[in-house]
Structure 1
Amino acid sequence: MRIAVIYIAARLITTLFLFLAAELSGFGSRMGPDANLGSTIVAWDGTWYWLIGYAGYPSELPLTDAGQIAENAWAFLPIYPYLSQWVSWPFGQWAAGALIVSLVAGYAASLVLYRLLRLRLDASAATWAVLFFACGPLAALFQVGYAETLNLLWLFCALWCVMRRRYGWLYLLIPLMAFTRPGVLAFSLFLALFGIWRWFRRRSEPLGGREIAHIVLLGLLAAVAGFAWQVIAGWVTGDPGAYLSTELAWRRNWILGDASFAPFDAFAAGIEFWFGTMWGLPVVWGYIAVGAGLVALACALLFLPQVKRLGVELRLWSASYLLYLLLVFFPQSSIFRLLVPLSPLWGAFAVPRSRAWRICVLVACLLGQWWWIYNMYALGNTAWQVP
């Protein structure tokens, strides 16, 4: 009941913020001067999900005037848009279905997050962590046409299964994650690291052959599922590189000319773009800043008592996902949204029992939420205002 009250109150606050953003939207905004709450649901990537729900995926890749593969629907995975389309059938509007799916999935994810954190924290800390999650800076995702909350539901369930050593459900959850949002390859890495950790502590917690088989098979399943969409896109379009070329089409919004993929290359290109091109600073400063940030994150995951309280599994997942982003992501303002799978770390912010601390964190969450909504929806017209 507490989680339901928290979630409903948080959604009312987010609704108010989105309404204000729509009212403040002008000619320079992505949504335009006539925006309303419905506009926020299908803004930005919501438009692509809507297009997939109605028209599916193209069998022929669109090209730019320069003959390069243009932005297209293959960059987005199918479960969320098709589920939203199915749910929208009684209402006649895809946006209605998308809103329902996001809201319901977000509430279910909040419940699972509470159960997940209760494995390591007391009821008070777990409840506050869910409150931070529901009111966090990216809380608008609970109410717009994005696949994040549905993916978080699968992810939290999967992490709970690993922490409880109930591996059977993962054979369903891993494919669901793989066809909802990119990132299941990070889960494959997580399972590999988790298996190594289990091996080294097998004397304190017995490790049987059946559990070893589950961990190995599930890690392989996550790896195969992580590349499956690339294979499907190539098969349907006749272009083996269809998915990667589509993803790289978005990078050309920041970097002119041909783009290519190699591990860490996108992150390095992002550092050069932001520090060199945009801010006119020495690029080496960017590498120093990123390196210092990575060292700080590593120290937090390894040594910070509040993070250690969450358990090894959540720390390994966080490290795996951060490494995955470093390998494949071109850093831009969407980085805030892509950090949402680290939401179990809200538990670390809730561990201190000081009510003043917890209230300050909550206020910071709400201020961050308004800042993000205002910039991404009311304004949304520069390179750093892309959700």
Structure 2
Amino acid sequence: MADGVLSGVRRLPAPVAIGLVYVAARLVTTVFLLVAADLSEAGSRFGADATIGDLALGWDAQWYWFVAVNGYPAELPLTASGQVAENQWAFMPVYAYLAAAVGAVLGSWGAGAVVVSLAAGYGACVALHALLRTRLDAAAALWAVAFFAAGPLGALFQVGYAEALFVFFLLLALWCLVRRQYGWMYILIPVMGFTRPGVLAFALLLGLVGLWRIARRRREPLPRAEVVHLVALAALATATGFAWQLIAGLVTGDIGSYLATELAWRRNWIPDAAGGFVPFEGVIAASGFWFRIWGLPDALGYVALALLVTGSAAALLFERHVRLLGVEIRLWSASYLLYLLAVFFPQSSIFRLLLPLAPLTGALAAPRSTMWRVSVLGAGLIAQWGWIYGMYARGNTFWLIP
């Protein structure tokens, strides 16, 4: 039945078909958020009288609003112990100010934020469909859009977070890369880089794609113009990735202000964390930390991390449905996962940070049975409710953060 419904929808123009899927997904998410608001109790961050508006503008949305209203501090706030405290420098400006611009028309920053997320989510679905259609048939691409729109992280398309906007720009950039239409990428990369962190992973992707193209140049010509574009875009992405750190340093007078700000959040889990940023230190420390919290040996956490990394690499290299997606999507997935391993301290926000892996939904939708696809869609909706319930109905300050 579900396949028949999507088959009928698929006969419509792609933007319309995608819009119907997206609207249906948003209605389900709205019901989930309404129920979560009703279930919110005094122990939740939102209290016993929470509304869906409170949930949409909670957590990081408050920081983006604060950026839009107050800008960025020239003097870093400090904790009682003299360490850099949480502050606005951890949040990029594009989403905050775009929401403010839209909100100026709609009457409030919150309304603008939700509308920007909703619009960006639809745009991301259209871009995902276009990207996957370069490798998959129409049915698989539309199923992948359904998995993406109604999946575990579907709430991010209607709350005040920058993820939907970032992924929209990312998927457009990936589509341009696959189609080798490099011109727009000179605009997309800087905008993406100032929306939220992650553009350094895109720089790595461009380098890897360049090496891949060089390795197979005898089978597929590599024009000099493409080499120039790949090198220039990789340099642009790298420069953009470090630009925010430089800007923060120039404004505050402390070149380490951005990294110190990011590390301030890590102290919510490891209060005695000190020193500067060291690549991969966060994920290694977290492996032992969480297993210790769960009453398990630290060593088991390190084993689990090794197995996770090995399993992810094997899936990207050998899993046949993933291989159908093409080299660029697989290299992006590998680049982004490596980036997360290098910079992030895994905690509950890790689920949200996996949204840029959206192209992998194509592997779940690639030639499969209807039963499989319906099961994946159902599992995604169940997981979405679990995420909303945990992060919003039950959400507390440290342990359940979206």
TM-score (norm 1): 0.98
**1:120 pairs with 120, 135, 153, which one?**
135
Q: Within the alignment, does 1:264 sit opposite 2:266 as a pair? A: no
CA offset digits 1:45-102 (Å, max 9, x no partner): 0100111111111111111111111100100000000000000012321110000000
Amino acid at match of 1:264: F
Q: Indicate conservation of the 8 Å contact 2:84/2:264, yes or no.
A: yes
Native 8 Å contact 2:152 2:387 kept in 1? yes
Q: Quick one: which amino acid aligns to residue 274 of structure 1? A: W
CA contact (8 A) 2:76 2:84 kept: yes
Q: Does the Cα contact within 8 Å between 2:37 and 2:55 map onto a contact in 1? A: yes
Cα distance, 1:279 vs. partner? 1.4
The yes-or-no answer on 1:179 pairing with 2:194 is yes
Q: Distance in 2 between matches of 1:37 and 1:19?
A: 6
- Write out aligned runs for 1:219-230 (5 A): 219-230=234-245
The letter of the residue matching 1:263 is P
Partner of 2:211, secondary structure, is helix
| Count of matched residue positions in the alignment of Structure 1 and Structure 2 | 386
Letter in 2 for 1:298: A
- Cα distance in 1 between the residues matched to 2:53 and 2:71: 22
Q: Find the counterpart in structure 1 of residue 386 from structure 2.
A: 371
Which whole-Å deviations, capped at 9, do the CAs of 1:307-361 have from their partners, x for residues lacking one? 0000000000000000001111101011101111001000000013310000000
Residues of 1 paired with 2:167 and 2:363: CA distance? 18
Q: Distance in 2 between matches of 1:188 and 1:116?
A: 19
Aligned to 1:315: 330
In structure 2, give the amino acid aligned to 1:246.
Answer: T
Deviates more, 1:154-163 or 1:260-269: 260-269
The equivalent position to 2:102 in structure 1, one of 75, 87, 92, is 87
1:267 deviates by 0.7
Q: What is the distance in 2 between the residues matched to 1:284 and 1:296?
A: 18
Matches within 5 A, 1:317-356: 317-356=332-371
Q: What code does the residue aligned with 1:265 have?
A: E
Match of 2:73 among 28, 34, 58: 58
CA distance in 1, matches of 2:168, 2:294: 38
Which residue in 1 is equivalent to 2:119? 104
Aligned residue type for 1:270: A
AA of the residue aligned to 1:25: S
Match of 2:33 among 18, 26, 33: 18
2:5 corresponds to 1:5: no
Partner of 1:292: 307
User: In structure 1, what is the equivalent of residue 229 of structure 2?
Assistant: 214
| d(CA) in 2 for partners of 1:31, 1:99 | 18
* Aligned counterpart, 1:357: 372
2: CA distance, partners of 1:202 / 1:269: 42
Letter of the aligned partner of 2:312 in structure 1?
L
Which residue in 1 is equivalent to 2:179?
A: 164
> In the aligned structure 2, how far is the partner of 1:310 from the partner of 1:80?
30
The answer on whether the counterparts of 2:45 and 2:397 sit within 8 Å (CA) in structure 1 is no
For the residues of structure 2 that align with 1:279 and 1:258, how far apart are their CA atoms?
20
What root-mean-square deviation, in Å, do the aligned CA atoms of Structure 1 and Structure 2 show?
0.9
The correspondence for 1:30, drawn from 45, 59, 76, is 45
Structure 1 counterpart of 2:277, one-letter code: F
**Matching residue of 1:136:** 151
Q: Kindly report structure 1 stretches of 4+ aligned residues shifted beyond 2 Å.
A: none
Distance in 2 between residues matched to 1:203 and 1:384, nearest whole Å = 53
Asked if the contact 2:348–2:399 (Cα under 8 Å) also holds between the matched residues in 1, the reply is: yes
Which deviations, in whole Å up to 9, do the C-alpha atoms of 1:93-121 show, x marking residues without a partner? 11100000000010011001000000000
Q: Residues of 2 paired with 1:240 and 1:45: CA distance?
A: 24
Q: 2:218 aligned with 1:191, yes or no?
A: no
Aligned residue in 1 for 2:12: none
Measure the CA separation in 2 of the matches of 1:6 and 1:146.
22
Instruction: Kindly provide the amino acid, as one letter, of the partner of residue 318 in structure 1.
Output: S
What SS does structure 1 have at the residue aligned with 2:207?
helix
Partners of 2:113 and 2:56 in 1: how far apart?
8
Q: Secondary structure at the match of 1:11?
A: helix
Secondary structure in structure 2 of the residue aligned to 1:103: helix
Letter in 2 for 1:99: V
| Rounded Cα–Cα distance in structure 2 between residues aligned with 1:361 and 1:335 | 21
Larger displacement relative to structure 2 (53-62 or 158-167): 53-62
Query: Which amino acid in 2 is paired with 1:381?
Result: N
Query: Which residue identity is paired with 1:233?
Result: A
**2:370 is aligned with what amino acid?**
R
Structure 2 residue runs without a partner (length 5+) = 1-15
Does the aligned pair in 1 maintain the 2:329–2:359 contact within 8 Å? yes
CA shift for structure 1 position 382:
6.2
1:305 aligns with: 320
Do the aligned partners of 2:266 and 2:273 also contact (CA within 8 Å) in 1? no
Question: Which segment is superposed worse, 376-385 or 323-332?
Answer: 376-385
Q: Identity over the aligned pairs, expressed in percent?
A: 60
Look up the match of 1:239.
254
Q: 1:296 is aligned with what amino acid?
A: G
